[in-house]
């Protein structure tokens, strides 16, 4: 009985840690994972050309509203990119289905966005 109580106590201590770390992964409307890029500065995208081919910016249209935390930033080509909490957002070309997170940690500069 004593070992059962110890095991139960250990489980109860571990459970809140797991629950507290659970966060919502942010996705686009098609449920594809969104990423941020550490090299972006001042709310502006630093990902163009080959970078934007591998990491397509999450494009929006002027006047759209996604709610709290979301804004549109203008890219150098005049398109508008969604930004979350001041950071431009991207998709990853190798993510092929909803739930894929193959770009997380790539090059040490790409990160999934968790709310």
- The gap from C-alpha 8 to its chain's centroid, in whole angstroms, comes to 35
Q: Is residue 74 part of a domain?
A: yes
Q: Is residue 28 part of a domain?
A: yes
pLDDT confidence of 5, banded at 50, 70, 90? very low
Q: Is residue 46 part of a domain?
A: yes
Q: Is residue 87 part of a domain?
A: yes
User: 3-class DSSP state for residue 112?
Assistant: strand
- Mean pLDDT check: name the lowest of 11-20, 72-81, 100-109: 11-20
Question: How many domains does the chain contain in total?
Answer: 1
User: 3-class DSSP state for residue 114?
Assistant: strand
The DSSP symbol for 78 reads S
Q: Is residue 55 part of a domain?
A: yes
> End-to-end alpha-carbon separation of the chain, Å?
41
- The boundaries of the domain holding residue 48 are 24-112
Q: Is residue 6 part of a domain?
A: no
Q: Is residue 16 part of a domain?
A: no
Q: Which residues pair with 83 in a beta bridge?
A: 71, 88
DSSP-derived secondary structure for 31-56: --B-EEETT-BTTB----THHHHHS-
Q: What is the per-residue pLDDT across 14-69, written as a single tens digit (0 to 9) for each?
A: 333 334 446 789 999 999 999 999 999 999 999 999 999 999 999 999 889 999 99
- CA dist 107 and 111 (Å) reads 10
Q: Is residue 1 part of a domain?
A: no
Give kind and range of the element (H or E) at residue 73. strand 70-74
Average pLDDT rounded to a whole number, residues 83-111: 97
């Amino acid at each position: 009985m004593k070992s059962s109580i110890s095991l139960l106590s250990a489980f109860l201590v571990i459970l809140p840690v797991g629950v507290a770390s659970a966060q919502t992964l942010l996705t686009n409307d098609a449920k594809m994972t969104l990423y941020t890029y550490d090299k972006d500065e001042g709310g502006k995208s630093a990902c163009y050309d080959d970078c934007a081919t591998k990491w397509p910016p999450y494009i929006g249209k002027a006047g759209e509203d996604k709610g709290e935390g979301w804004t549109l930033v203008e890219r150098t080509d005049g398109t508008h990119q969604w930004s979350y909490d001041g950071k431009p957002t991207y998709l990853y070309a190798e993510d092929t289905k909803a739930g894929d997170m193959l770009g997380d940690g790539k090059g040490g500069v790409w990160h999934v966005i968790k709310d």
